[in-house]
């Protein structure tokens, strides 16, 4: 807390101007036993909020209770964010769906504290090769989970879809995930390995933002299939054709890693609520959750 004299010195103005700034400019202040007190971190935020010609690479403001997360959509991550917001009254986590690549770019631009990503490179390493492309320096990488990816189909599977090749049947319609998502990248990789062109698949260009949206389209017969995670198929009672288990990480700039809210958020990875949700949903493996991840020697 700063006194009126201290905040005047901090702002390089006289004390009378401080009262004008409180009344006219919204300078953060609290009156206690007749005296004004100024929370220093709120004064700093007030200054930052009024900054003009802000540089493009502007830093996030000092931590003030808001954890910003961007990147890949996931049911268990949604549960973790909801749990955080219920558990910590003085903190809030907010998530922006932007796909794995969008999360990395947001982290690079200092638009978020945490990027959620599961991008697989040609060398079979997750996230690190893309970090080298997007970031000037390596970030902290904490494993969130491993999860099972594949093709979601209707439980009765009336089109008899058993493999990727069946998706090129002209009577089969799919829905897809957006470009820039790790799931779309994995789906395109699997199609290439199977010698199938996306242009040969009906509905390939119909893109959705969330895994659950894919599942709901299959459930309501708007589509016969779509790439997604097993957890969605389990929750909606749908069929599932597996591709692989993938690694899903949380990427955090080192200078923000020990912010209070970040540490509170990461601590939930070992909590009972998240473990119970993973067991209920299915298709998740939390054996590595919360562990720091490092690049393999051949990927450095």
Query: From residue 148, how far is each of 57, 99, 145, 261, 288 by CA, in Å?
Result: 36, 17, 10, 29, 14
Question: 57, exposed or middle or buried, with CB in 10 Å at 0-12, 13-18, 19+?
Answer: exposed
All domains of the chain in start order, with CATH: 4-49 (no CATH), 66-146+247-299 (3.40.190.10), 148-245 (3.40.190.10)
Gap between the terminal Cα atoms of the chain: 46
Q: State the residue for tokens 């989970």.
A: 145
Question: pTM for this structure?
Answer: 0.77
* pLDDT tens across the length of the chain (300 residues): 889 999 899 888 998 898 888 887 788 888 888 888 988 877 887 776 666 554 555 567 888 899 999 999 999 999 999 999 999 999 999 999 999 989 998 998 889 999 999 988 776 788 777 777 666 677 899 999 999 999 999 999 999 999 999 999 999 999 999 988 999 999 999 999 999 999 899 999 999 999 999 999 999 999 999 999 999 999 999 999 999 999 999 999 888 999 999 999 999 999 999 999 999 999 999 999 999 988 655 444
């Amino acid at each position: 807390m700063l006194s009126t004299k201290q905040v005047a010195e901090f702002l390089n103005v006289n004390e009378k101007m401080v009262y004008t700034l409180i009344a006219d400019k919204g300078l953060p202040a609290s009156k206690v036993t007749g005296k004004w007190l100024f929370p220093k971190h709120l004064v700093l935020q007030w200054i930052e909020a009024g900054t003009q010609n802000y540089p493009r690479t502007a830093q996030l403001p000092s931590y003030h209770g808001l954890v910003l997360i961007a990147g890949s959509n996931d049911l268990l991550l949604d549960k973790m964010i909801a749990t955080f917001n219920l558990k910590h009254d003085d903190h809030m986590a907010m998530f922006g769906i932007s796909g794995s690549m969008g999360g990395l770019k947001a982290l690079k631009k200092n638009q978020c504290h945490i990027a959620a990503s599961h991008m697989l490179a040609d060398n079979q390493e997750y996230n690190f090769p893309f970090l080298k492309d997007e970031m000037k320096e390596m970030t902290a990488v904490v494993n969130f989970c491993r999860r099972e990816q594949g093709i979601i189909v209707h439980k009765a599977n009336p089109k008899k879809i058993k493999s990727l090749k069946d998706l090129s049947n002209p009577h089969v319609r799919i829905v897809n995930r957006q470009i820039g998502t790790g799931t779309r990248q994995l789906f395109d990789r699997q199609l290439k390995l199977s010698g199938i062109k996306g242009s040969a698949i009906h509905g390939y260009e119909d893109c959705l933002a969330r895994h659950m949206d894919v599942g709901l389209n299959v459930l309501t017969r708007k589509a016969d299939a779509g790439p997604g995670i097993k957890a969605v198929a389990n929750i909606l009672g749908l069929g599932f054709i597996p591709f692989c288990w993938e690694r899903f990480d949380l990427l955090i700039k080192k200078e923000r890693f020990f912010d209070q809210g970040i540490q509170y958020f990461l601590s939930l990875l070992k909590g009972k609520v998240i473990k119970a949700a993973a067991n209920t949903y299915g298709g998740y493996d939390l054996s590595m959750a919360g562990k720091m991840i490092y690049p393999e020697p051949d990927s450095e």
